[in-house]
Chains A and B, each alone.
Chain A
Amino acid sequence: MLKKEISDSLKTFILCLLLFLGVPLGYVMDKFIIHFGWKLSEIFNFMYLMTIIAFPLAAGLTIFQSEKKDRAFEYLFSLPLSRPQILMYKVLPRLVILLVLIAVSTLFSVYQNIWIAGFNLVVLFLISIVLSVSFNSPLIGIIGVSFFFYGYYTSSQIIYMIFTGWNPGKAFPDSTLTVILHNIFAAVLLLTPLGIAFWITFKKMDVKPLKLQMKSYYLIVLPTLVIFIVFIVLFFKKYLNYMQ
């Protein structure tokens, strides 16, 4: 099974690499149409950034794509594989490719702080996996993941500011560990309920129509979403003032 999942993960990665077609395209467009004065290296860096964001998003959201598309859940669930085994076989190759991508990014110096960026990409991947069971449409999936990821990102900043007592003097030190700790805190706050919702649903999942199996998932995910929105709304004005 691992072989199939490695192959599926590589296919997703290759599809994401197609974004690099934007490099010559962007260069030609800039040269002949829009004249923004983009350098080839700038376009390459931008497309690399897009790829490294697109991969965890696509790899997570399409983790059960072959089962959904081929109606192969019935075959998969009839095999003597436990749910942790299935999840491990599916997550592992995708996570390894993502980690390799993050490692390669350090070579290109795409991110100033690779630890924080890498952690955020892993969070993006995990959010995409968790939401993958609830969406069939990739577009809605992308919107959903973007929404949750934005929630995670904003709340990590707000958490940081709460912990510094809204004191701009203390804000954003160079210490990677301090910043990443608040990211971890925000990730745990978001991913714990989402992860529980996903696991409860996936553990009990069978070949009944998916909509009949999502009750406990929505019972956890929707209140989490509401709490995150309330949290962000409560602090957003203060956050904006602080940022200014």
Chain B
Amino acid sequence: MISIKDLSFSYGKLKVFENFSLDVPEGEVCLITGINGVGKSTLLRLMAKVLRPAAGEIIFDEKMGQDPRHKIGFISDILSLYESLTVAQSIDFHKSVYNLSKFDDSLIRHTKIGLDQKIKELSSGQKTIFHLSLILSTEPEILLIDEIIHSIDAYLRRVFLEQLIQLQSERQLTIIMVNLNFHDIEHMVERVILLKSGKIAVDEKIEALKAKVKKVISATKPQSTPVLSQIDFTDHSEFFVYPYDWKIKEQIEGEVVDMDLTEIVSAFIGGEYA
């Protein structure tokens, strides 16, 4: 369990979070989303302890030990491995820090990464998959993954996600992801958190969210339910409503359509920009 209590953080004069609180139970797969610059990556960095809060605290389960970083796997939106090391040296480095006797190379076995290659010679996708394999080899309890995973090609992304699903079911891994490709992870995510101005604007279980966010295709705007955002066409509009009220069907002429996670997140983010 991760418990964030009254967290405040700023970059100089730019306040990102003020009295922010959030609990993530053990074994939950959580997606954090929001517009660019809202603080998603910052929140992940604070949880990974590479940023220090100005106030408040982030409490980890006692079983995480005195230094929870032993059990946290973090990959940020910038690739930050030592570029001058070779792949073999990086594995050695990582193993020595975590006192690992062996390295799980099941992920990089699928790639064309050579042990003698320098990190700077790898493509960004290769670096990402290598960084992920370093992280997974430490058998983390918590995985914090930023949106960088988009850089991996479709095949390796599938391999990685399959491994992730397997680990999650075997070890009750807590996974917190930021704005990943929603199609890829839709079947994994249990909870969606939308950040807005440093606060939680939406915090819903995925099934509840899917029941509450609907696309209304109509020529007239629904009156009884808040509209997140809309797309206008010549003869009709698509209104993304939340929370959905079943009475809409009686009030308007049109169609109510279920939405997938990508559409839901886009609707919320579209509403932010409107």
On A, residues with C-beta under 8 Å from B are 1-4, 66, 69-75, 77-82, 204, 206-209, 212
Known contacts being A80-B97, A209-B11, is A4 close to B82, with CB within 8 Å? yes
Chain A: minimal CB distance from B126 (Å): 16
Chain A: minimal CB distance from B92 (Å): 7
Is the pair B81, A75 in contact by a Cβ cutoff of 8 Å?
A: yes
Is the pair A212, B69 in contact by a Cβ cutoff of 8 Å?
A: no
Q: Which of B1-43 contact A (CB under 8 A)?
A: 11-12
Is the pair A207, B50 in contact by a Cβ cutoff of 8 Å?
A: yes
Say yes or no for B74: interface residue by CB 8 A criterion.
yes
Say yes or no for B117: interface residue by CB 8 A criterion.
no
Chain A: minimal CB distance from B145 (Å): 13
Given contacts A2-B96, A72-B82, A204-B52, 9 further A-B contacts (CB under 8 A): A1-B97, A74-B78, A74-B80, A75-B80, A75-B82, A77-B49, A82-B67, A207-B50, A208-B11
Q: Could you say which residues of chain A place their CB within 8 Å of the CB of B92? A: 3
With CB as the reference atom, state the residue of chain B lying closest to A4: B93
Q: Which of B51, B67, B80 has a CB less than 8 Å from the CB of A72? A: B80
B 80-105 binary contact with A (CB < 8 Å = 1; else 0): 11111100010011001110000000
Say yes or no for B193: interface residue by CB 8 A criterion.
no
How many residue pairs link A and B with beta carbons under 8 A? The number is 67
Is the pair A4, B89 in contact by a Cβ cutoff of 8 Å?
A: yes
Give Cα A80–Cα B94 distance, bound, in whole angstroms.
Answer: 10
Chain B: minimal CB distance from A185 (Å): 36
Say yes or no for B266: interface residue by CB 8 A criterion.
no
Give Cα A75–Cα B48 distance, bound, in whole angstroms.
Answer: 10
7 chain-A/chain-B pairs, Cβ below 8 angstroms: A2-B96, A4-B85, A69-B83, A74-B76, A75-B80, A78-B48, A80-B67
**How many residues of chain B are within 8 Å of chain A by beta carbon?**
27
On B, residues with C-beta under 8 Å from A are 11-12, 45, 48-52, 67, 69-70, 72, 74, 76, 78, 80-85, 89, 92-93, 96-98
With CB as the reference atom, state the residue of chain B lying closest to A205: B52
Is the pair B12, A212 in contact by a Cβ cutoff of 8 Å?
A: yes
Known contacts being A3-B92, A78-B74, is A206 close to B52, with CB within 8 Å? yes
Is the pair B45, A79 in contact by a Cβ cutoff of 8 Å?
A: no
Known contacts being A70-B81, A70-B82, A70-B83, is A207 close to B51, with CB within 8 Å? yes
Is the pair A79, B83 in contact by a Cβ cutoff of 8 Å?
A: no
Is the pair A80, B51 in contact by a Cβ cutoff of 8 Å?
A: no
Is the pair A206, B84 in contact by a Cβ cutoff of 8 Å?
A: no
Is the pair A80, B98 in contact by a Cβ cutoff of 8 Å?
A: yes
Is the pair B80, A73 in contact by a Cβ cutoff of 8 Å?
A: yes
Give Cα A212–Cα B51 distance, bound, in whole angstroms.
Answer: 12
